[in-house]
A and B are shown apart, each in its own frame.
Chain A
Amino acid sequence: MNCPYCGTSNLDNASVCANCGRSLSAQASSYTPPPPPPSDFTQPSSSASSGPAYGGPAIPNYLWQSIVVALCCCLPLGIVSIIFAAQVNQKLAAGDVAGAMEASKKAKLFALIGFIGGLVLMIIWFAVSGAAFLQNR
């Protein structure tokens, strides 16, 4: 079953989500509003107005995508993206949901620019070297 809080797919007999640790009881899987957060999860009051509050979908950090971009084409963009990816979970751990979402967006943006930029550069490179190869034949 999928966790109703973060969307992670869990084993059918799991009682808590493997990713976020929240309960996967039958009551939680129906589409009722999530129960009030346990006391150890503190949540800034500001997040009620900005971004989904506790129980919203998990905030992706795009970390592995950033590492792939850094290693496979666009090192500077990938490294910037990795920094934002690290900030996503750091801010989330500090209870700053809005800040984490902001960092997530930036991580995605830089990884995407790197990916598309790298793709375009490679297509150009292959076109140029392919043309040269055909000419020298």
Chain B
Amino acid sequence: MKYKRLLGFAVVAAAGAWVLYNFAPTAYGFYPPCMFRKMTGLECPGCGTTRALHHLLHGRVDEAFRLNPMLFVLIVVALFALPSFLRGRHPEFLMKPWFAWSAFVVLVSYWIVRNTPIYPF
């Protein structure tokens, strides 16, 4: 059971990485777009994640950071959550109020800042 999960995750991750590595999101239109940006013209906190992952897979960390610095926070959180998810368990920190509130504050403040001229990228 444990290995099935691990195997499933590895297959999906490898397939996703292969597609992202070989097909640049700026050149191919089959990637899901950000509906928030399509409708409002503003960037959401997740905008640029696909393009940033493409650059990251090619080893261009600076480009990835420029497109979406929050991706690196997400990767760290995902790495913390991954072992629990692979064991079929709910990561404990997801059930802590402090984590949910910090996610809320980080998302909303990043969302506002990246749509203002203060944002450096």
A24 interface contact, C-beta 8 A: no
Instruction: Determine whether the beta carbon of B38 is less than 8 Å from that of A9.
Output: no
B41 to nearest A CB, angstroms? 13
Give the residues in chain B near A73, CB-CB below 8 Å: 32, 34-36
Q: How far is the CA of A53 from the CA of B101 in the complex (A)?
A: 26
Size of interface on B: residues with Cβ below 8 Å to A: 30
Instruction: Determine whether the beta carbon of A70 is less than 8 Å from that of B89.
Output: no
Give the residues in chain B near A19, CB-CB below 8 Å: 89-90, 92, 95
Q: How far is the CA of A71 from the CA of B107 in the complex (A)?
A: 9
Give the residues in chain B near A121, CB-CB below 8 Å: 35
Which of B34, B81, B92, B104 is the one whose CB lies under 8 Å from A64?
B81
Give chain A's interface secondary structure class: helix
Residue of A nearest to B78 (CB): A64
A83 interface contact, C-beta 8 A: yes
Residues of A whose CB lies within 8 Å of any CB of B are: 8-9, 18-19, 58, 61, 63-64, 67, 70-75, 79, 82-83, 85-86, 89-90, 93, 118, 121-122, 125, 129, 133
Between A and B, 27 residue pairs with Cβ closer than 8 Å are A8-B89, A8-B90, A9-B87, A9-B88, A9-B89, A19-B92, A61-B94, A63-B99, A64-B81, A70-B45, A71-B46, A71-B74, A71-B107, A72-B32, A73-B32, A73-B34, A75-B46, A82-B103, A83-B104, A85-B100, A86-B97, A89-B96, A122-B33, A122-B35, A125-B33, A129-B29, A133-B29
